[in-house]
Amino acid sequence: MDVLTSNAKYDFDKALQKVNDSHDTLRMLMNNASYARQNDMLELLNDQAAVVDYVAEQSLIMASNITSLSSTLESLRLNQSSQFACPMLD
Q: Which pLDDT value is given to residue 10?
A: 77
Instruction: Name the residue type at position 84.
Output: F
Residue 6's pLDDT is what? Answer: 60
Please state the pTM of the whole predicted model.
0.56
Rounded to the nearest 10°, the torsion over CA 17, 21, 26, 30 is 130
Out of 36-40, 54-58, 75-79, least confident range? 75-79
Confidence of residue 81 (pLDDT cuts 50, 70, 90): confident
Does the pLDDT at position 87 exceed 70? no
Q: What is the pLDDT of residue 52?
A: 98
